[in-house]
Amino acid sequence: MIHLLTTLPFTLSIVKMNAPALEKVDCPLLLARIGNTPLVPITSPNARVQILGKAEWFNPGGSVKDRAGRAIFETAIADGRMTRAKILLDATSGNTGIAYAMVGAALGYRVALVMPENVSDERKKIVRAYGAELIVSDPLEGSDGAIRVARELAQDATKFFYADQYNNDANWRAHYETTAPEIWEQTRGRVTHFVAGVGTSGTLMGTGRRLKELNRAIQLIEVQPADELQVIEGLKYMASSIVPGIYDAQIADRHIAIDTDAAYRETHRAARAEGLFVGLSAGAAIAAARQIAAEIETGIVVVVLPDGGDRYLSTALWQ
């Protein structure tokens, strides 16, 4: 039987690896609660395969991006790139922006975020509630359009620290240092497959690298939209997108393409049959995990559930 609640302590400071004696960042108790999220069982199509979802909405900011948001913020403060005189700036489809806004409020730093205008109303309202400045970009250009606007604004280096989550190593290192060890401990080293969608790709890159170090036999499954016409908020179709600098296509052992309809169906099924109220990218990841479970003989499949469904109530997903 798998132990579903982790007991790993969360470290109160994050510094860059291979960096000389960096100052540690004092961490409010709120931010110390990031990580140590539970694994929840998901119905498997194969009685001999267990599927466990990493329930990332248990983070205080409500998503998996709390991990990277905190790591990026604290690493930049520790090495001097982020100061009180600057505003942290980044492009985001929502969850990383919420994480930045929460961390900035907790630590007393200003945050400015570029989001496509068509992200859910809930996400825009949440970042404003935390006091962050919101800059909207062309909805037809998606996350890539937000990146282009952020890069243009970031030319004013005296005003902004450009966090650049898509190219910031602190993004994937957050998962290398926390998400992977948690999964290993929670499954007692018995995890056989790890499934994650890719947007910035930090979750898969960091968790995957560490899990492979712990056991080379663990299979890493990457989930993307089926093509550029399939819109699954939070995920990128890499073939037609600005590819994140931290992304390495060779990390995954397998790539699974999910179309929007399948993601919708699995998101609805998870809510109504499992009691798991998750976002659309989580639905896509569950669809991939259930596909893997149907194909293998035995195993333990861990799938990342990036956020809850409450951030999508105003979208077509629940209408």
Q: Show which residues are catalytic.
A: 65, 281
Contacts 24+ apart (CB under 8 A), 151-159: 153/89, 153/112, 153/114, 154/89, 158/86, 159/86, 159/87
How far apart are the C-alpha atoms of 317 and 9, rounded to whole Å?
36
Alpha carbon distances (Å) from 307 to 16, 41, 123: 26, 16, 12
